[in-house]
Amino acid sequence: MYYPRNINRSQIGTAWFGTHIVIIRCNYKTNEVLAVFKSDHAPSEPIANSCAETLSRYISIGYTLLGAYVLGDKEVQYVLQYR
């Protein structure tokens, strides 16, 4: 059965309730962030130049790492989820 959650919709500036995904693409040889993609209302942190620092920031606010995937010989893509 479907039981809708009671959410206060009149609150301005709050993130959408539910699951959020963030994808971070990095050059793992230089530790450089190449791109960040996220769901529209996902909680976010400022992007650092360092991939390790960017991942640390997202994990510190409650994201969990779903997977890390190699894209070619220099890039890796991290998929994080927030619930």
**Bridge partners, 80 (sequence order):** 22, 65
Q: What is the band of 14 on the pLDDT scale with cuts at 50, 70, 90? A: low
- The 10s digit of each residue's pLDDT in 39-72 is 988 898 999 999 999 999 999 999 999 999 999 9
Q: Which of 15, 24, 19 is nearest to 53 (CA)?
A: 24
pLDDT for residue 4:
52
The rounded distance, in Å, linking the Cα atoms of 25 and 79 is 9
pLDDT for residue 13:
54
pTM: 0.78
Going by C-beta distance under 8 Å and a sequence separation of 6 or more, which residues neighbour residue 33? 24, 25, 26, 47, 48, 49, 50, 51, 54
